[in-house]
Amino acid sequence: MSSSVKILSASAGSGKTYRLAYEYIKVLIFEPRAYSTILAVTFTNKATEEMKSRILVQLNALVSGVSPYIADLQRDTGFDQEKIRRNALAARTNILHDYSRFAVSTIDKFFQKIIRGFVNELGLDVGYTVELHGDNDIGEAIDRVVERAKGEAGIAVLISRVIEDSIEDERSWDIRKEIAKIAGEILKERYQPLAREIETVIEKFDKLREDIDNKKERLSNDAAQTVAYIAANGLQPGDFKGGERSNLVKIFLTLAEGELVEKFERLEKAAESAEEWYSKTSFQKEKIKTILPKLMQATRNIIAPYREYEYCRNGFELLADNFNKRLLLSYISEELHQIWAERGKLPIHQTTKLIGDLVKDTAVPFIYEKAGNRFGRYMIDEFQDTSAGQWRNFLPLLDDAIAGSSEGEAVMLIGDVKQAIYRWRGGDWSILSGGASYYWKDEADVSEHLRRNYRSKGSIVCFNNELIRAVVNSACDRELTTIYEDFEQDVPEGKDGGYICVKEIENEDFIVNQVRDALARGYRQGDIAMLVRTKNQGREVADLLLRNGLNIIDQESLLLKNSPAVITIVSLFKLALNPKDTLALANYNRHNDRMLDAQFEQQDFLADLLAKNPVDALDEVIKMLNSDSEFSFVQAFYQVVVDFSRENSADLASLIEWWDERSDKLSLYLPSSQDAITIATIHKSKGLQYPIVFIPFCNWSTEPTSQPPTMLWCETEDKDFEEFNPSPLIYKKAMANSAYAYNYLVEKRNALIDAVNMLYVALTRAEDELYVFQKIPKKKSSSSIYNFIKEFCGEQSEFGSKATKICNKTLQPHDSITFDKFDITLSKQRVRTSWDSERFYEDGGVIETPVSQGILLHQLFSQINSREDIVPLVNAMVVSGDFSAERGEEIIQRISKSFENELIASWFDSSNRIFSENAIILPKSTSTKRPDRVIISNNAVTVVDFKFGMAKNSRHSRQIEEYKMLLAEMGYADVRGYLWYVEQELVFSI
């Protein structure tokens, strides 16, 4: 009997996507309609599109009889080639005619679909928007909390404590920035609200501080007595071993001041050895010998109290760094949720928690019913990047699929622990490495390992095998050894060759020379990638390549804020807000070939901008500039302004404040097909491959990062500290000797695994050639990953051999539409800001509006197949709170009356084939159109759109015409179209 759960370990370049698509298609060959019961989950939109495309391409190839899957499918299904072809044809047709149920999705999109079905149960606004950057509102939430301090004593006390901490530690006086550093934790899955009363926690914290101060005072007094005893016997610190520079008495002097001692181990030796106190040549040796018994006893007496004090003080100082700010997080979180509710937002990080609450308290069949699909089979890709929260949310659904599976694999998990490099984003590789198999025990099959590398040439595969094995062995970490157990890859036939260069370089000219050498051997710039760890490294590489006349693609160079056109626009906005802003004036002048101190003459124009909303103001600036340069950047900035205006207060001051905080995250995305060298972070390169890969800064640390500081949510069983669990602490070496020592060791180990995984991912992106460099460091670092590489390579710097690339292909330009200017004067081209009219509050309640009611009525009509469905569906929406009882009765009567019209009644005849809100894929596009209802009766097709407003619009007719044209292109000869204005009881034939 086959297992219900299949867990595949897929190493880099081993054909993971090929295998996932094959397993999906194999199910379709058995049952061509099974696509609607399979959910394939990936982690990026790009991977989703690639997966969908591969499935359809291979189905099409199977229909043509030329797919590489044919032999394997014959073996695994037992079907002959003709039956495979027929079933592939049926599956392809089914998917294309029912594309909306072709469920290949990102994990976030799948969870969002479930949430959309539970809007009322979760207390969300019907028209909520998903907020990708929840941190946009943190500053406002902090401001609201500070404002509340005027009337709430509890908040005022906390803010005062934060200010005192900042003054004591000589940090910034701007506590808003200090609080913001930790407030971002609210947006992360690991954030845990404070479970106890704030007053109680403060009381215990202050009591702990008092206890530690008492320990310090007793220790200081004991040390001071010892120092006084030495002085009373006529001895000075310089009389002891080591003289003035280094002696034991100085340790006692430090302890007397209440400070921690770096070399306390020497004092421990001195407690047992007289030789630690004096040397043979000590001038006062005899006098020291006289008092030595009492000195050694005093030393023994102070050791245990000191160790206890050091242990407690380390823990307390770690806790105190963020303690008061951590207490403020509860209030900031309250305000954030209030802001999101006011603006109808659902931050994407909230999805996991909301789904967790649903699956915990809701029956799985009901979840499926509300989501619109019931899945009997799951395929989850990149499973090593799944977070603990996502895993918990998936489990009830996966268990339900396993319970309903009579045979075959209900769940397939595919991933590679060695490529788990998203721990900072919540990824938990331990679920793939053992958590899932342990949970399902006998039901899980984890025997298969895809180990053949189809990406890289043989020399690169062998080099990576040997290097990574050497790194793992040198690291001597048990967890790392387990992850990389039997990781080595095989080389398929015909993949000989490959070249590797490993070198410490004095300057970057060596990199440029290697790039030019590759270009001279037939490679294009587009074949080359530079992989870096940080944005700063990316900027350095970009500057190097541009200075040497090479083309690049990198997100840093595509930041909107670096565009001269955008700088000019933003400068004018800033001048409108403050005509005396000399920096804005200089920026405007610099990018318009003017003297830097030249005054802007059109003051009336600036005053006019200030009176407009941001979108209209931008229109005026673009018309004034009348420039056709940097069209793409201006277009992208225009969309940014429109998006901002839709979700925030629409004034220039708010826009500029938001822009100054967020502009470093807003980029222009260009097609990767142009002939330019790619500069990418290693994180973003995962899943990609390039003929030639450079790793110009292969020197990242195997220790947790200090910039930005590593934040850990720690728990301890120590009785003095457990009351504060969980606490956000900054990783420091002091943790090793504190109540948080276990957290320290776990993070240190995980950082090592992250560093090695990062190396593995970077090395395995290369197809033909791999260059690994480190600039000769000014100061050696014991924690650099390059130390492992250098130890392995020794004096050898080259492996394999370079080759000349014979390229018969030329770059083919993509079909595209090019605009030569950004014309904002034509009304049809103008982007209009639509203010949401659904959310009007009165006494805490939501007033029903035509917009919100139209959404609900569309939702209702999409579920009605026959007149028998009306009453139960409306009653269900009354129970869920969508409609009042009176409104529900009114809707039932109105629809029932409409059915007196025979034409309308025919649209709800269950003997016909009815498709409600099913997507039609547009030709040569991934876009879709979604008619409200398509009815197929015999050879005739009827398409209907429901309208619930009172206004008729010519766009409605054009929409029906487009639907009719698409259905005709699909092969339907007799196509009819209708518009039904439900509220007006009017039907128009189009």
Q: What confidence category does residue 521 fall into, taking pLDDT thresholds of 50, 70 and 90?
A: very high
**pLDDT score recorded for residue 751:** 95
Q: What is the pLDDT of residues 484-515, one digit of tens each?
A: 998 999 999 889 999 999 999 988 889 999 99
Residue 934 near residue 942 (C-beta atoms within 8 A)? yes
Per-domain boundaries in the chain: 5-122+350-450, 202-317, 458-556+674-706+742-790, 560-665, 841-989
Please report, rounded to a whole number, the percentage of residues in the chain having pLDDT higher than 90. 40
- Of 392-406, 634-648, 758-772, 776-790, which gets the smallest average pLDDT? 634-648
- Closest C-alpha among 410, 320, 398, 414 to residue 364: 398
Is residue 386 scored above 50 in pLDDT? yes
- Of 393-397, 584-588, 895-899, 920-924, which gets the smallest average pLDDT? 920-924
Most confident stretch, 357-371, 661-675, 880-894: 880-894
779 is in an annotated binding site: no
Homologous superfamily of the 458-556+674-706+742-790 domain (CATH): P-loop containing nucleotide triphosphate hydrolases (3.40.50.300)
762 is in an annotated binding site: no
Q: What is the pLDDT of residues 232-280, one digit of tens each?
A: 998 888 888 877 776 778 888 889 988 888 878 888 898 988 888 888 7
Q: What is the pLDDT of residues 83-136, one digit of tens each?
A: 999 999 999 999 998 888 899 999 888 888 888 777 777 777 766 777 766 677
Please give the structure tokens belonging to residue 794.
């020794």
Bigger pLDDT: 405 vs 311: 311
**pLDDT score recorded for residue 148:** 92
Average per-residue pLDDT in the chain?
85
How far apart CA 610 and CA 616 sit, in angstroms, is 10
184 is in an annotated binding site: no
Is residue 571 scored above 80 in pLDDT? yes
Please give the structure tokens belonging to residue 550.
């090479």
**pLDDT score recorded for residue 526:** 92
Residue 382 near residue 8 (C-beta atoms within 8 A)? no
How far apart CA 831 and CA 127 sit, in angstroms, is 20
- Closest C-alpha among 611, 590, 615, 614 to residue 600: 590
Is residue 868 scored above 70 in pLDDT? yes
CA 349 to chain centre: 9
CA pseudo-torsion sign 724, 354, 882, 344: positive
CA pseudo-torsion sign 474, 476, 480, 482: positive
947 is in an annotated binding site: no
| CATH class of the region 841-989 | alpha beta
- Of 461-465, 714-718, 937-941, 948-952, which gets the smallest average pLDDT? 948-952
Output DSSP code: residue 237: G
**pLDDT score recorded for residue 157:** 92
Residue 926 three-state SS: coil
CA distances from 562 to 314, 441, 598, 669, 676 (A): 44, 54, 22, 14, 19
**pLDDT score recorded for residue 206:** 94
- Of 131-140, 787-796, 861-870, which gets the smallest average pLDDT? 131-140
Same fold, 5-122+350-450 and 841-989: no
249, containing H or E segment: helix 248-256
Residue 540 near residue 554 (C-beta atoms within 8 A)? no
Q: What is the pLDDT of residues 18-52, one digit of tens each?
A: 899 999 999 999 999 999 999 999 888 888 888 99
Give the CATH number of domain 5-122+350-450: 3.40.50.300
17 is in an annotated binding site: yes
10 is in an annotated binding site: yes
How far apart CA 405 and CA 410 sit, in angstroms, is 6
Q: What is the pLDDT of residues 817-841, one digit of tens each?
A: 455 566 665 434 444 444 443 333 3
Is residue 286 scored above 70 in pLDDT? yes
13 is in an annotated binding site: yes
376 is in an annotated binding site: no
Please report, rounded to a whole number, the percentage of residues in the chain having pLDDT higher than 70. 90
How far apart CA 307 and CA 493 sit, in angstroms, is 63
